[in-house]
Amino acid sequence: MVSDKAANCPNCGCPVERVVVCEECGEHFKEGISNCPKCGCPVGSDATSNNNNLINLTTMEYKDKPDNNLLYAILSTVCCCAPLGIVSIIYAIQVDNLYRKHDYQGAQDAADEAYKYAKYALIFGIVFYVLLFGLYSLPAIFILPMGIMHDVMS
């Protein structure tokens, strides 16, 4: 790890590149640029001077992006329960946005919520279809044997 105040890396002597992270879109760009090149959000001199947006590329930690469970959310929406599946899709989409903004814990929480609602949609869908099949098959279970018994008795 290199200190935020170091101009050069103590191991190799290379200059430390400092970048600013846009608060709107999460884009990284070099210190001294007044507007974000991706979204055009103004980054004033006060933002670069108070170190809120400054990061040191050598000390920045990257974590693996959690699985957003988007496929699971879409399948549970189409096949099982649309309202719960839509909530799952919303959380799944938030995973990528939070990860790009380096909110790793928020991305993991959104991934967990997406999985949870997709699972609830699947369970609800299975219960619904079992009950629906059961209600449609009840007459066949009780009436068909009575008809057979009536034919036998006649």
76-88: per-residue pLDDT in tens? Answer: 999 888 999 999 9
Q: List Cβ<8 Å contacts ≥24 apart for 108-115.
A: 108/66, 110/68, 111/66, 111/67, 111/68, 111/69, 113/88, 114/68, 114/69, 114/70, 114/72, 114/73, 114/88, 114/89, 115/69, 115/72, 115/88
Residue 123 in any domain: the answer is yes
Residue 45 in any domain: the answer is yes
Tell me which of 13-27, 35-49, 60-74, 118-132 is least confident: 35-49
Q: In what order do the strands lie in the sheet with 54-56?
A: 28-30, 18-21, 54-56
Q: Are residues 20 and 92 in the same domain?
A: no
Residue 118 in any domain: the answer is yes
Residue 127 has pLDDT above 80, yes or no: yes
Residue 132 in any domain: the answer is yes
Residue 65 in any domain: the answer is no
Q: What global pTM score does this model have?
A: 0.54
Q: Are residues 74 and 35 in the same domain?
A: no
Question: In the chain, how many domains are there?
Answer: 2
Residue 92 in any domain: the answer is yes
Residue 5 has pLDDT above 50, yes or no: yes
Residue 134 in any domain: the answer is yes
Q: Give the residue numbers spanning the domain of 101.
A: 70-153
pLDDT at 11: 59
Residue 111 in any domain: the answer is yes
Q: Are residues 101 and 139 in the same domain?
A: yes
Among the candidates 35, 60, 85, a domain finishes at 60
**pLDDT-based confidence at residue 134 (cuts at 50, 70, 90):** confident
